[in-house]
Chain A
């Protein structure tokens, strides 16, 4: 139907990822505004139960592609199956997560189907019948507002955690298996094995307070200063990706899309700009504090409290005062 919205579900071990519910909430809003229907597409293996669960989340239809070869198809084949599904469903708007999975699916789908796409979006809405998105550009200090051409199909990759998950009234959703010829699709590579990183010696996900270091700390020799602060507050030290990339800290300390998802009571980001992939790992914290010398740093868009200043002045002061109290 004209205006229909489709969400591509992301799941792991039989459960939908949180981003799927966020996409459904957004999709519902837009479908309602356009008096259109909302579907969700699930690709994978042994996903009957998952599909049934998704049928009760406020969507009008669940499209299922269940095939053994999709159980561990992280790249090529999953994209092939998604492209073939979209040819059949022909939605006006497709929503995927801007996650590591979605970063592979979105360009593949858009390119193969010739659909206009915007990725890394913080919002998508329907304004006067047009699809409008907001996406960060140039390091995230600015957001571009982009309007898709009316009546042309569009694809949006939305950041995980960018929109809240609102409870959806359940509807009687139709579950429909798509008959795709998966066997004859080109494989273009195969998964040899999956690796789940061990928790490690330090599990920052368990901490109530996390003090995280970003590239703003300058070099590895400054990390004890951050660690001392975390300790004085009774918490643990986390970090952003560049610190792990440079070998300053082990991967188990990394917060974000390709690191850990943490939901502490208090998260203090020191010298972290607030890239979407970092936010994906910590936007669920109850209280977010940003210490950054750049008042325009995107981290201040999500922080509850901010101190604009030099972390080399602020952090030692915080440590000292925390020790006293």
Chain B
């Protein structure tokens, strides 16, 4: 079985003008980056704007890209910085509506046999939105990007212990939300 080319190699090929390499790279990361931004921004339109900005910066970086770090670290650092820039430019993200997942069923339509697992997912969604921004950022970088603590600390410009602490707090809160007994409104 052929080993798929590494991200950095694909990016270097794109730097040499190979558009197909970029397409492979893009399709490999696009959904994870989109979900990362969607959960951070908590607004689909905003997430789409920032997502486009992120990949625009990656494309522009083709002339200066050097594979000094893992590509995913570079990619999520760009995404993180774009999100921070967006916050600074526009404060509306604090007043935006929450993300509504496409497949979210209406509670009224839930059959009685709805599993506890589905309810747990709904509670997880709510708990994720209630997390402080820094904790949510660290949790998403761990889950969506699969970054290590060192890489997360590099992306978020914080030290390793801070990243570790934020991740632990985030996981504990989400775990508590999943384990929480079903509450009816």
Binding between chains A and B = no
Question: Which B residues are within 8 Å of any A CB, using their own CB?
Answer: none
